[in-house]
Amino acid sequence: MKENTCSSTWQRLSFSSSLFSLLLLDLEEHYFEQHTAYNLTGRGPEANSGSLKICSKSIIFEPDDAVKPILKVLSSYYLSPILHVSGFIKKNFPQIYLIKEENVVAPYKYERVKKKVTFQLEVPGKTEDVVQMLLQLHRASCLDKQGDQTAMVAAILQSRLARTCFDKNSFQHVTENPHMECVAEMVSPLVTNAGHVCITDCNLYFQPMNSYPDLVVQIGLHSVRRIYKRRHGLRPLGLEVFCTENDLCSDIYLMFYSTKERDELYYYIATFLENHIAECTAESYMLQWQRGHISNYQYLLHLNNLADRSVNDLSQYPVFPWVISDYSSTQMGQSPSNTDTHLRTHITHAHAKKYLERYRDMPEPRFMYGSHYSSPGYVLFYLVRVAPEHMLCLQNGRFDQADRMFNSVGETWKNCLEGGTDFKELIPEFYGSDSSFLKNLLGLNLGRRQGGGRVENVELPSWASDPDDFLEKMRLALESQYVSEHLHEWIDLIFGYKQRGSEAVAAHNVYICQCVCLCFCSIEDPDQKIAMLTQILEFGQTPRQLFVTHHPQRITPRFHNLSATPSLSSSELSPSSPSMESFEDLTEESKKMAWSNMNKLALQSRHKIHKEAVTGVTVTLSGDSIFSTSQDSTLKMFSKENGLQRSMSFSNMALSSCLMLPDDKIVVCSSWDNNVYFYSIAYGRRQDTLMGHDDAVSHICWRDDKLYTASWDSTVKIWKCVADDISSNKRTQFDLLAEFEHEAGVNTLDLSPAGTLLATGTKEGTLTLWDIANPLPLNQLTCHSGKIHQVAFSPDSRHVLSVGEDSCLVVTDVQTGMLLATVHAEQEQRCFCWDGNTVLSGGMSGDLSVWDLLSSKVIHKIPAHSGAVTCMWMNEQCSTIITGGVDKQIILWKPEY
């Protein structure tokens, strides 16, 4: 998967300097229209032609001659009907902002003029309409209250939008059928641009009211890869569309005026793309990250996207962690202890204790920190060298003081670690490949520090030879094993369960200050609402919470080497020994090859040997004999060479499952008559009966001379075989070792490969994880809305997969009990085998489905039974599969290589 490098992010996002200058004093200023005009204040119209831009709180003249400065005059000054600007009263001359003089990005200059500043439109017929617009905006700017000013500007904006509509002549094809049209604003850093949205059966269009930067923005629906709903200003109004798989920048970010319109557009695109893109959820990305299919960088980028972080919204810019703590050594340090502290708590323990004490003594509403870890100011602090015009907009036309700028990586880290007011995290650019944000390539005059030195390039640690080398080392550190093992702790703080509440206080991570805790929509006073919105946009916003329980740790290569990889069937684990290593390696390779070819299953033979649905299959180690149980109450012994050999009936009730003991001499069967039966292959008769439950025994497992039985009487019991040789022709004594109580009938169970954990599934859809040594549940969650048909551990014991009546496949993390992924199938799946990622399942229609859990998609379907597939068996090498169904058949399969 190709990494996003953040390269040229700001080149793609940047507008012309004139558009940035609109936002000099107000982050919410609107840009209505532009006209070709002449500045008659100068020496002649030929030398002073340009573009006159009408904005909600100012007018801007951008001359065609780039050497001349851009002029900006506030609407609060009197605007006469002959389209000139003069003072409101005789002695109050207008203050004009001079921007980008000599085509140099620099702090704005201010000039008070004592004469009229006059503009003449190139098309005189438009003068009257423009004057009326200017007078309306002037009246709005003269209102006493900020809320009233904003309300009047909003009314003017909506009125202009209502008088126009999307120009359907802009359709790419004349045959396009429009689905919906509405008004919205296109969002980019510090700018929102109002216009009309139209979506057809082929394209999404946005037509800006001011025709800037283009007459129409067009996005083909077939090119869309991802779409996200967004909060904008804490309101559910945003929608962001990506046409590239892993790009940091989206193709368009729209803010609607109503949630209903946003959702209608979202669901239309989502429905259109249903068969073209994979589902993007935190759980699905988590599963990919855990198993090493995506990098730490990619995972963090996906989490930021899902948590409403966007490079188009500086108040919700993507946030990344500090992962290196040593910026003073000549070589990168090997000890990661300080990094570990930061990933866990953000700041040192001493500071955390001080802020926690202050938090506890503070009256409601309480907060720990007075600033956020990500805000527009912090983002532009890092990016001032590549986005200086954004910083000037944010700072009223000035750069920050030289000593407060981003001068040194080491100094910035030290301030975050030791300072009392600085808590900022990093941004994705620190882990990209474009180092331009660390260099003063534009030759900006950013001032002089107290020591006399000019602010130029960012000072890097001694262990970095140049900016590119610095970014490369940052990327390597982010992907290091140590960070991989601890990154989930930082995710808990920023996106997870420690983000809020008592857990956040305990983790010293209460960043949700008053301005982001209040519900924006509940504020009725217009002035308070404007003040709150301004605070939200300037202060920054906490990411949307993605996880409410512990985030699982990543499975690193070191853990892979320590984990066992047994088969997914009920066959036994063989103890490893040095002499068996090459054989095990060969077995693992054969398993991988078999699973990679699981979509090429070839039918070997069909055999109808039962009178009712088949419920269980097991095979001798040699593969010579196949045993199957059925609801017809019989155990059948079958040979591929000789056909049906034996038929045994233990009771008049259905048999629910069967397994082969390790000695290859005993078949164990569970029954609906509450009993477990032991059948001796050598003697051809029932050898023993275990009567241990008060209701049907639904499923059984065997491990280390212990029998595990699940029953509809809501219990799972563990029995110890006390005989020296269970295969001898003698009755066997079983002692009850443990009993696990449930609130509903237990329908299925599975043991972890190491035999230390137990997973159970009930008729009510509850999955429970148990430690064999402790009768209390480790984790319990209702992950299905109906009966759970089967549960099974992954080969590395880190995940459990379950299927149920609700047609869902659910992946659960063993360590935390967190639901990692829920895959919705077209039909109910009854049984399965899996290798931790690929699943072979049998459904109600009788088809076998091969699933890729990472993409949550069926990659192949195989016609099999004429009714539901009820059971499945797979050998140790994953080279033979046997399925049983409601159609009374067993079918033998082999993957083709």
Residue 125, class by beta-carbon neighbours within 10 Å (0-12 exposed, 13-18 middle, 19+ buried)? exposed
Give bridge partners of residue 642 from the DSSP assignment: none
CA distance 639 to 453: 88
Supply 816's token pair: 């935390």
Q: What is the largest CA-CA distance in the chain?
A: 117
Rounded distance between C-alpha atoms, residue 865 and residue 787, angstroms: 22
Residues of the chain whose pLDDT is less than 50?
Answer: 1-7, 15-18, 20-25, 44-45, 80-83, 86-91, 334-341, 344-350, 506, 508-519, 558-586
The CATH code for residues 301-308+324-539 is 1.10.1540.10
Cα separation values, 398 from 110, 536, 703, Å: 11, 22, 73
Residue 798 in tokens? 């880190």
Contacts of 394 (CB under 8 A, 6+ apart): 190, 376, 377, 380
State residue 48's pLDDT score.
82
- Edge-first strand order for the sheet with 614-619 is 614-619, 626-630, 634-639, 643-649
**Domain 613-847 carries which CATH code?**
2.130.10.10
CA-to-CA separations, 206 to 104, 170, 272, in angstroms, rounded? 32, 10, 18
Domain 9-161 CATH (choose: 3.10.20.590, 3.40.640.10, 2.30.29.30, 2.20.70.10): 2.30.29.30
Residue 274, pLDDT score: 65
pLDDT value, residue 740: 95
Amino acid occupying residue 159? S
Tell me 408's DSSP state: B
CB atoms within 10 A of CB 109: 12
Phi/psi at 894 (nearest 5 deg)? Answer: -140, 135
Tokens standing for residue 339: 């990094």
Q: What is the pLDDT of residue 866?
A: 95
726, burial (CB in 10 Å: exposed 0-12, middle 13-18, buried 19+): buried
> Which CATH architecture group holds 164-279?
Roll (2.30)
Query: Residue 724: what pLDDT?
Result: 62
Asked, colleague to colleague, whether 9-161 and 164-279 share their fold, the answer is yes
Q: Where are the domains of the chain?
A: 9-161, 164-279, 301-308+324-539, 613-847
The pLDDT of residue 345: 47
Q: Is 620 exposed, middle or buried (0-12, 13-18, 19+ CB in 10 A)?
A: middle
Give pLDDT tens digits for 706-717.
999 999 999 999
* Closest among 831, 850, 742 to 792, alpha carbons compared: 831
How far is Cα 121 from Cα 129, in angstroms, rounded to an integer?
A: 11
- Please state, in angstroms and rounded to a whole number, the distance separating the CA atoms of residues 483 and 476: 10
**Per-residue model confidence as pLDDT tens digits over 580-602:** 333 344 457 778 888 988 988 99
pTM above 0.75, yes or no: no
Distance CA 527, CA 148 (A): 8
pLDDT at residue 72, rounded to an integer? 87
CB 813 within 8 A of CB 552: yes
Q: Quick one: pLDDT at residue 759?
A: 97
Report pLDDT for 94: 64
